[in-house]
Chain A
Amino acid sequence: MFHRKKIVWLLMLPGMLGILVFYVVPFFGGVYYSVTDGSFANNYVGFSNYLRVWQNPMFQMGLRNTLELSVLCAPTIWFLSFLMAAMLKSLKERSTGFRNILLMPYLMPSSALLLIWLTMFDYGGVVNRLVVGMGLERVLWLEGNALRAPVVLLYIWKNLGFSVVLFSAALATVHPSLYEYASLEGAGGLTQAFRITLPQIWPTAFLVFVLAWVNAFKIFKEVYFIGGSYPDDAVYTLQHFMNNKFAKLDYQDVTTAAYSFAVLVIVMFILMYRVKAVRGEETA
Chain B
Amino acid sequence: MTQRTVRRVRHRRRHGLGYYISVLVLTALCALILLPIVFTFLYSFFPKGEITSFLNQRGNYDVSVWMDVPLSPAVFSLRQYYKILIEEPSYLQLFCNSVTYTAAILAGQGLVIPLTAYALSRFEFRGKNMLMVLIMMLMVLPFQVTMAPSVITLRTLGLMDTPWAVILPMIFSPFYIFLLRQFMVGLPSGLLEAGMIDGAGPVRGFVHVILPVCKPILGAAAALSFADCWNMVEQPLVYLANNSSAQPLSVMFNQISTEGADVAFAGSALYILPTMLIYLYFQEDILQGVQLSELK
Contacts and interface: CB of A to CB of B under 8 A. Distances in A.
B211 interface: no
B124 A2 contact: yes
A178 interface: no
Contacts of B192: 1-2
Contacts of A109: 227, 230-231, 250, 271-272, 275
Interface stretch (B1-9, B75-83, B84-92, B279-287): B279-287
A125 interface: yes
Contacts of A119: 55, 58, 67
B58 to A, nearest CB: 5
B67 A122 contact: yes
B58 A251 contact: no
Interface in B43-98: 43, 55, 57-63, 65-67, 69
A115 B140 contact: no
Q: How large is the interface on A (under 10, 10 to 19, 20 to 34, 35 or more residues)?
A: 35 or more
A182 interface: no
Contacts of B25: 87
A116 B123 contact: no
A120 B58 CA distance: 10
A29 B149 contact: yes
A30 B141 CA distance: 14
Contacts of A105: 33, 37
Interface string B171-185: 110100100000000
Contacts of B275: 107-109
Interface in B213-234: 223-224, 226-227, 230-231, 233-234
B145 A27 contact: yes
A5 B202 contact: yes
B56 to A, nearest CB: 11
Interface on chain B toward A: helix, strand, loop, or mixed SS? helix
A116 B39 CA distance: 7
Interface stretch (A39-47, A49-57, A95-103, A274-282): A95-103
B169 interface: yes
Nearest to A240: B144
B216 to A, nearest CB: 12
A269 B138 CA distance: 12
Interface of A: 1-5, 7-9, 11-12, 14-16, 18-19, 21-27, 29-30, 33, 84, 87-88, 90-92, 94-95, 98-120, 122-126, 129, 138, 140, 157, 165-166, 169-170, 172-173, 189, 201, 203-204, 207, 214, 217-218, 220-221, 224-225, 228, 238-239, 242-243, 246-247, 251, 254-255, 258-259, 261-262, 265-266, 269
The 6 closest A-B pairs by CB, nearest first: A15-B116, A18-B172, A26-B149, A30-B149, A87-B22, A107-B227
Interface of B: 14, 18-19, 21-23, 25-27, 29-30, 33-34, 36-37, 39-40, 43, 55, 57-63, 65-67, 69, 111-113, 115-116, 118-120, 122-125, 131, 134-138, 140-153, 157, 168-169, 171-172, 174, 177, 189, 192, 201-203, 206, 223-224, 226-227, 230-231, 233-234, 237-238, 241, 249-251, 253-254, 257, 264-265, 267-269, 271-272, 275-276, 278-279, 283, 286-287, 290-291, 295-296
Given A140-B61, A258-B144, A265-B140, 11 more contacts: A11-B123, A11-B203, A23-B146, A25-B153, A27-B145, A101-B33, A106-B227, A120-B36, A124-B58, A169-B291, A243-B144
